[in-house]
Amino acid sequence: MAEREQIRKSSSSRSDDTSVEEVSSSSAKKGDELKAELDDLLDEIDEVLEENAEEFVRSYVQKGGQ
Partner 1 sequence: MAITKVLGMETEYGIIIRGSADANPVAASSALINAYVSERNRRVGWDFEDESPGRDARGFAREGSMPPEVETHLVNAVLTNGARYYVDHAHPEYSTPECADVYDLVRYDRAGEMILADSIRFASKFLPPGQSVVVLKNNSDGKGNSYGNHENYLMDRSVAFSRIVAGVIPHFVTRQIYSGAGKVGCETFVPGDRVIDFQITQRADFFEEVVGLETTLKRPIINTRDEPHCDSRKYRRLHVIVGDANMSEVASFLKVGSTALVLAMIEDDWFARCGKDFTLRSPVGAVREVSYDTSLSTPLELQDGRSMTALDIQWEHLELAKKYSESFGLASVGGDRVGQDILSRWEDILEGLESDPMSLARQLDWVAKFRLIEGYRERHGLGWGDHKLRAMDLQYHDVDPARSLFSRLGMETLFSAEEVRSSVDEPPETTRAYFRGKCLQRWASSIAAANWDSIVFDLGREPLCRVPMLEPLRGTRAHVESLLASVSSPAELIEHLGS
Is the C-alpha dihedral spanning 20, 21, 26, 28 positive or negative?
positive
Q: Kindly report the CA angle at 34 between 32 and 36, in degrees rounded to 5?
A: 70
- 31 φ, ψ (degrees, to nearest 5): -60, -45
Q: Could you tell me if 46 and 53 are in contact, meaning their C-beta atoms sit under 8 angstroms apart? A: no
| Least distance from partner 1 to the Cβ atom of residue 20, Å | 11
Minimal distance in Å, beta carbon 56 to partner 1? 5
Give the nearest distance from C-beta 14 to partner 1 in angstroms: 8
Interface ranges with partner 1 (CB under 8 A) = 3-4, 7-8, 10-11, 14, 27, 30-31, 34, 37-39, 41-42, 45, 48-50, 53-54, 56-66
Is 18 or 39 the residue whose CB approaches partner 1 more closely? 39
